[in-house]
A and B are shown apart, each in its own frame.
Chain A
Amino acid sequence: MDFELRYSQYNERSILIEWPSIIDENILNDVLRFKALIETNTVKVLVNVISSYNSLLVVYGSAIDNVNDSVLSLKNWYTNEDNSAALSSRLFEIPVCYEEEFAVDLAAYAKAVSRSKDAIINLHSSVIYKVYFIGFLPGFLYLGGLPKSLHLDRKNTPDLNIKKGAVGIGGKQTGIYPQDSPGGWHIIGSSPVEFFLPQETPPCFIKAGDRVRFKVISKSEYFELKKRYANASMNPEQFLCHD
């Protein structure tokens, strides 16, 4: 893959690398491939490599002496043909309860997108979403691939307290709130799964590049799973699909 990349110094210790400004799975794969190369090849201490839809922010542990040298090494790694290792993309099936108790915005949302509640639930749980990156909150997955008929701009005024586990729709994206938080997305369900466990390594069992599908569960199943995940350590393997 060869995109026209833009390199710029971001602060004393960081370099920003930007791809064309669109949401695209090929760009994502290229971003993640380059991220892995940077993590493997960098000799200096690396603090963070933050990825998003179309960019990487490389944060070093100390100030950059010569930005041209740093950019040159990055460019060489990017263009080297030997460095085109395939990326893994695991598929996870995540239980979600779409019943009224959790789907606090579903009625209003259904009206706004002119679909029945059942049609929305069927559609939302029928497609496979791509995890573009994790941001906003620890463990908040930015999921791409929401069917067009479900797109709806986020609310003008954010809700002050969206509950942990809430499954929402914001613009072209869908996602799950990993903790209580303010937010402007339309809430159509809730998942009992823990998406961020600080005592685990890594703290998120899903990573950028993986895929997610939602599985409809009943309210009783939700409470049963919620109790089970709280009492025993949750084994993320159970959500893995072997496709």
Chain B
Amino acid sequence: MIKILKSGFYTSVQDQGRLGFAQYGVPSSGVMDQYASKFANQLLGNAKDAAVLEMTMIGAELQFLTATRIAIAGADMGATINGKAVAMFKSIKIHKNDILSFRQAKDGFRTYVAVRGGILAPQVLGSRSMLKGLTDDFKLNTGEQLHIENELTLKSAKYARLKFNGSYLQTKTLDVFKGPEFEKLTPSQVDELLQSDYQVSKFNSRMAYQLQPLIQNDLKPILTGPVLPGTVQFTPLGQLVVLMRDCQTTGGYPRVLQLTEKAIHILSQKTTADDLMFRLVAF
């Protein structure tokens, strides 16, 4: 068991998300930064879809009531165990009653804690990812306890030797494909869209990131159509809205760009006022 001593700013259980339920209007959810979370799971020999803790901006304080192994990846939140600094990006032994604490994120916005065997939060529609309106709660609360595998019952895993490539945490460039409505933009709108410097607005969440400034446009709404995480919508007011993991399955705004998988990881590590630009890439 893990006891949440402090929940931090926004800590939730996430896995690879709900697959196959989009036709019922269910968002995919799952970890925002799949690169960091997969890396942490790999270090422990966990399954790719093992559930992890996703911490946002200010990390949590956790007490382990069971001995286990953990790995931390993503933004640096100054992790300590019983007050002593601890390394990220490696498999760490945890003793019973150890207290793992985090502070504010540096060089990024989201940090992942993987635990041997994964976090055993309840499954809803095949996923442990927390989502408002679908799971009992959408984030963890102080005092709550989470089930984990008992270390003694787990077979020993091969602890992978891997190198975390953290350069994406500093990247400001989001690689994008043309979206379905890209062709409806005029050449000057294309130039403005691709050559502007953007900042993340204060409206950024697991559902979407809004960018500023506004870009004037005269695109008409479309007949409501499918969208995915990474879809960049262009509203009549000129707002660019980048959909993220908890986004709806359909939308009516023109879809002008689509982030690459890697660009979604990059954006997941950005917060209010961070600088961004787009770079158009081909398939």
Q: Give the interface of A toward B (CB within 8 A).
A: 8-12, 14, 16, 18, 21-23, 47-57, 59, 67, 133-140, 142, 179-181, 196, 198, 202-204, 207-208
Contact = CB atoms under 8 A, between A and B. Distances in A.
Contact of B226 (A16, A137, A198): A16
Interface string B6-31: 00000000000001111111111000
Interface residues of B, number: 31
A232 to B, nearest CB: 21
A53 B228 contact: no
A181 B260 CA distance: 30
Given A134-B23, A138-B24, A203-B21, A11 B226 contact: no
B133 A137 contact: yes
The list of the 8 closest CB pairs from A to B, nearest first, reads: A135-B250, A57-B226, A50-B226, A48-B22, A134-B25, A50-B22, A138-B26, A52-B225
A138 B134 contact: yes
B213 interface: no
A207 B28 CA distance: 19
Contact of B224 (A12, A14, A135, A139): A135
B223 A23 contact: yes
Contacts of A54: 223, 225
A133 B106 CA distance: 43
B246 to A, nearest CB: 12
A9 B224 contact: no
Most buried by A among B26, B177, B226: B226
B124 interface: yes
A48 B126 CA distance: 14
B64 to A, nearest CB: 30
A191 to B, nearest CB: 17
Contact of B124 (A9, A181, A198): A198
Contacts of A207: 23
